[in-house]
Chains A and B, each alone.
Chain A
Amino acid sequence: MGLARYIAFRALLIIPTILLLYTLVFIVLRVLPGNPVLAALGTKNIPEEQLKALMRELGLDKPLYQQYFEYLINFLRGDMGYSMIIRGRPIANDIADKFPATLELAIWAMVMSFALGVGFGYVAGKSRGTALKHIARLYGSITYIIFIPALGLFLQLLFGRWLGVLPTGGRLSPGIYINSITGLYTIDSLLQGDFNTFADAIKHIILPSLTLGLVLSGPFTRLTLSNMERVLGSKIVVAYRARGVREEVIARHVFKHALIPIVTYLGLQFALLLGGAVLTETTFNWPGLGTYLVDKIMYRDYTAIQAVVILFAFLVGVISLMTDVAYALIDPRVRY
């Protein structure tokens, strides 16, 4: 099988996963108690007639199977539907608005966790003693227990309140505006050559991405360390040395070997990243999809929740596809 066919095959596999999650969310939302109309109004004292009218307007009076398929078909047509709470507001607009914020946070957090985690693992893996290796292993297996809001708020206290060098929330300081191109402010500001805005955007994203990145960095450290150790002890390295190749150059080649299992892990990390983003966004008032989703869950905005869940499932699927392809590109032994 060629690479293109493999990608197509893997892409097809995303569909049943999305369908299943949509079905799951649909059932959870409909079968379990709770009603978006009442939740939106915040009261149960509403005349029967008015409630029915509202339900009809939102399509909630139709049989469940009809609601299920109508939403699905509309979604496939690219219509994510309208909010059930803020009437007349298209979900697609909300998502277009919030998604770039989450994407930007996710990218920077990935960069942070990769740099911290892989960097630490690399240094510990190269070190000759065992002390650093022990510390790295422990770091690797316990960083995930850091409670994101606890760390995030502590960093806000430290850098925002006590040292006063970094802002405690939001994406930009008040009074700073940006013309959105990609929606990723650190990139948009650079594209427009506006370095003040760029600096401001960076300042705002440091703490959230550091918080999320630190929590997710542990497995990278562990994987890098154990892979470096494995490859450094292999005959490949002895053979490199026997050819008189310099240690720095060997370390670079070894790192490539160590990277392969890490790349596979990136895909798995992504689901954790989305979960962590919800907490990080809330902690730092980051106007992204995570906060949006929690908000909509609280109000039982069915259409909005369904749309975000499908989007998340899609993202998880696409990222795992991308990591598989990246894996194939790094390791020439992989066949399809």
Chain B
Amino acid sequence: MSEVLLVEDLYVKYYTRRGIISAVSGVTFDVIKGEMLAVVGESGSGKSTLGYAIMRLLPRSGAVERGRIVLDGEDILRLSEEELRRIRGGKVSMVFQDPFTTLDPLRRVLDQFREFLAEHGIDAERGRIIAEEMLEAVGVPKNLANAYPHQLSGGQKQRVAIAMAIALNPLLVIADEPTTALDVVIQRQVMDLLDDVKKRGTSIMFITHDIALAIERADRVMIMYGGEVMELAEKSMLAKRALHPYTVGLLSSMPRIGSEKLPSSIPGYPPDLRSPPKGCIFHPRCPYATERCRTVKPILSEVEKNHFVKCHLVKAL
């Protein structure tokens, strides 16, 4: 089993005017070659922060406090700015939520593409060929290569972004809610495109709030809440037998065809990460919380093969 990415005991904090926010706390997981790992959570669960931390693109107020991020055997946290720059877009690349705000509106698509390739040491002539090939591969019509971003549709822009993200055959693509800003039909096409990317052997870390989409598309699913991993399992396992009360809540909050039950939402609010609750971070919203949950923090443990859960109430099977 070859792992592309290994994240160990990662802590990320934001230092803001309103206080110190523990955005990611003690997160450990890996991404295996050629798999799609879905990271699922509500906004504020730390799932995007995780993505930005791996890219080392946290905003200035954010900092990695502890932990290791190992990409292809190299600890990313120890790299210099220049080494990082070469890795970004090379070994690991990112696709963002909103394609309307991530392409430079003042420059032609092909120019941005070629500049990106040139920054990674590819000469102009080959750059042009690669860029044109890649755009064609993701289904952007040839005549649009010389267009400005505003002349493209939302789906086309996201295709361009994906084309750039995979142009240099990265080991890992971090896709941060890549379909949220798009309508349903386009969403499906973009997800199919990511499937194709996966088939080329590139691993994908698919960040989403949509657990249904995650179970449908990913190989493994990681559930985050309040900056911590609550559950991590293969998708079939999770779909059949989710064990963490939060995951169960998420699953029952999604509408199902043919079900008599109305979708129910989890009562309560996400935790205030400036002063997270003691004990299990989910206990204030957990219907089964006990005294122990309120005082002792549970640890993530493997309750059956490849199924990790962070909950006092779930015993090893």
Direct contact of A and B (CB under 8 A): yes
Q: A222-254 CB contact bits vs B (8 Å, 1 = yes)? A: 000000000000111011111111100100010
CB atoms of B94 and A242 under 8 A apart: yes
CB distance from B91 to the nearest CB of A (A): 10
Q: Which residues of B contact A246 (CB under 8 A)?
A: 85, 119
Interface residues of B in 67-125 (CB under 8 A from A): 85-90, 93-94, 96, 98, 101-107, 115-116, 119-120
Q: A245 touches which one: B94, B102, B116 (CB < 8 A)?
A: B116
CB atoms of B106 and A241 under 8 A apart: no
Complex: how many Å from CA A5 to CA B263?
58
Instruction: Determine whether B164 belongs to the interface, using a CB cutoff of 8 Å to chain A.
Output: yes
Secondary structure at the A interface, as helix, strand, loop or mixed, is helix
CB distance from B190 to the nearest CB of A (A): 17
CB distance from A264 to the nearest CB of B (A): 15
Which B-chain residue is minimally distant from A332 (CB atoms)?
Answer: B148
* Residue of A241, A256, A330 with highest tally of chain B CB at under 10 A: A241
CB distance from B101 to the nearest CB of A (A): 4
Instruction: Determine whether A257 belongs to the interface, using a CB cutoff of 8 Å to chain B.
Output: yes
CB atoms of B57 and A238 under 8 A apart: yes
Instruction: Determine whether A331 belongs to the interface, using a CB cutoff of 8 Å to chain B.
Output: yes
CB distance from B310 to the nearest CB of A (A): 30
CB atoms of B57 and A242 under 8 A apart: yes
Knowing A242-B94, A244-B90, the reply to whether A249 touches B104 (Cβ < 8 A) is no
Q: B89 touches which one: A242, A257, A330, A331 (CB < 8 A)?
A: A242
CB atoms of A244 and B102 under 8 A apart: no
Complex: how many Å from CA A245 to CA B93?
12
Q: Which residues of B contact A253 (CB under 8 A)?
A: 104, 106-107
Q: A235 touches which one: B101, B116, B164 (CB < 8 A)?
A: B101
CB distance from B128 to the nearest CB of A (A): 17
CB atoms of B115 and A236 under 8 A apart: no
Instruction: Determine whether B150 belongs to the interface, using a CB cutoff of 8 Å to chain A.
Output: yes
CB atoms of A330 and B119 under 8 A apart: no
CB atoms of B150 and A332 under 8 A apart: yes
CB atoms of B148 and A241 under 8 A apart: no
Instruction: Determine whether B55 belongs to the interface, using a CB cutoff of 8 Å to chain A.
Output: yes
CB atoms of B89 and A235 under 8 A apart: no
Range of interface residues on B (Cβ < 8 Å): 20 to 34
Q: Which residues of B contact A235 (CB under 8 A)?
A: 96, 98, 101-102
CB atoms of B101 and A234 under 8 A apart: yes
Q: Which residues of A contact B161 (CB under 8 A)?
A: 239
Residue count of chain A within 8 Å CB distance of chain B = 20
Knowing A235-B98, A236-B101, A239-B96, the reply to whether A244 touches B106 (Cβ < 8 A) is no
Q: Which residues of B contact A245 (CB under 8 A)?
A: 85, 89, 115-116, 119
Interface residues of B in 5-57 (CB under 8 A from A): 55, 57
Complex: how many Å from CA A309 to CA B107?
41
CB atoms of A243 and B119 under 8 A apart: yes
Knowing A241-B57, A244-B90, the reply to whether A332 touches B105 (Cβ < 8 A) is yes
CB atoms of B106 and A330 under 8 A apart: yes
Which B-chain residue is minimally distant from A254 (CB atoms)?
Answer: B104
* Residue of B88, B94, B102 with highest tally of chain A CB at under 10 A: B102
Complex: how many Å from CA A336 to CA B120?
38
Q: Which residues of A contact B96 (CB under 8 A)?
A: 235, 238-239, 242
Which A-chain residue is minimally distant from B106 (CB atoms)?
Answer: A256
Complex: how many Å from CA A331 to CA B55?
30
Interface residues of A in 237-286 (CB under 8 A from B): 238-246, 249, 253, 256-257
Complex: how many Å from CA A244 to CA B119?
7
CB distance from B153 to the nearest CB of A (A): 15
Complex: how many Å from CA A245 to CA B89?
9
Q: A333 touches which one: B119, B150, B164 (CB < 8 A)?
A: B150
Q: Which residues of B contact A238 (CB under 8 A)?
A: 57, 96, 102
CB atoms of A243 and B164 under 8 A apart: yes
CB atoms of A242 and B103 under 8 A apart: no
Q: Which residues of B contact A239 (CB under 8 A)?
A: 94, 96, 102-103, 161
Complex: how many Å from CA A333 to CA B105?
8
* Residue of A242, A256, A330 with highest tally of chain B CB at under 10 A: A242
CB distance from A262 to the nearest CB of B (A): 14
CB atoms of A332 and B119 under 8 A apart: no
Which A-chain residue is minimally distant from B102 (CB atoms)?
Answer: A239
Q: List 18 A-B contacts (CB under 8 A).
A: A235-B101, A236-B102, A236-B103, A236-B105, A241-B57, A242-B57, A242-B89, A242-B94, A243-B89, A244-B85, A244-B86, A244-B120, A245-B89, A249-B115, A249-B119, A253-B104, A332-B105, A333-B148
A242-B94, A333-B105 known; 13 other A-B pairs, CB under 8 Å?
A235-B96, A238-B96, A239-B96, A239-B102, A239-B161, A242-B96, A243-B93, A244-B86, A245-B116, A246-B85, A253-B106, A331-B106, A333-B148
The 9 closest A-B pairs by CB, nearest first: A244-B89, A239-B102, A244-B88, A243-B89, A242-B94, A235-B101, A332-B148, A243-B116, A244-B85
